[in-house]
Amino acid sequence: MFPITTKKKSNPTTSIGLKRRTLIISAALKAFAEHGYSGASIQKIADSANLSKTNVLYYFRSKKLLYSEVMSSILSIWDSSFDRVTVNDCPAQALANYIAEKMENSRTMPLSSKVFAIEIINGGPNLDTSFKHTHKLWVQDRITLIEDWMTAGKMDNINPEYLLHHIWASTQYYADFSYQIENVHGAHMSQQEFTHATNTVIKLILKGCGLIVPEHYLS
> Which residues of this chain interact with a copy of itself, rule CB under 8 A?
33-39, 114, 117-118, 120-124, 132, 135-136, 139, 158-159, 161-166, 168-170, 172-174, 176-177, 179-181, 183-186, 196-197, 200-201, 203-210
Residue 53 contact, options a copy of itself, DNA, none, Cβ 5-8 Å cut-off depending on partner type: DNA
Cβ neighbours, 10 Å, residue 171: 24
- Angle in degrees, 0-180, between the axes of helices 63-75 and 110-121, rounded to the nearest 10: 110
Q: How far is the CB of 131 from DNA (least distance, A)?
A: 22
Residue 9 contact, options DNA, a copy of itself, none, Cβ 5-8 Å cut-off depending on partner type: DNA
| Torsion of Cα atoms, 178 then 181 then 183 then 185, to 10° | -130
Residue 90 contact, options DNA, a copy of itself, none, Cβ 5-8 Å cut-off depending on partner type: none
Q: How far is the CB of 209 from a copy of itself (least distance, A)?
A: 7
42 binds DNA (CB under 7 A): yes
Among 48, 57, 158, 194, binds DNA (CB under 7 A): 57
Contact assessment for residue 91 and residue 152, using Cβ atoms and an 8 Å cutoff? no
Sign of torsion, CA 115 119 122 125? positive
190 binds DNA (CB under 7 A): no
Mention every residue, 6+ apart, whose C-beta is less than 8 A from residue 172: 102, 106, 113, 117
Residue 185 contact, options DNA, a copy of itself, none, Cβ 5-8 Å cut-off depending on partner type: a copy of itself
Mention every residue, 6+ apart, whose C-beta is less than 8 A from residue 170: 201, 204, 205
Among 41, 157, 183, 200, binds DNA (CB under 7 A): 41
Contact assessment for residue 206 and residue 96, using Cβ atoms and an 8 Å cutoff? yes
Q: How far is the CB of 106 from a copy of itself (least distance, A)?
A: 11
Q: Which is nearer to DNA, 7 or 84 (CB)?
A: 7
| Torsion of Cα atoms, 168 then 160 then 139 then 73, to 10° | 10
Applying CB under 7 A, the residues found at the interface with DNA are 3-5, 8-9, 11-12, 14-17, 20, 40-44, 51-55, 57-58, 61-64
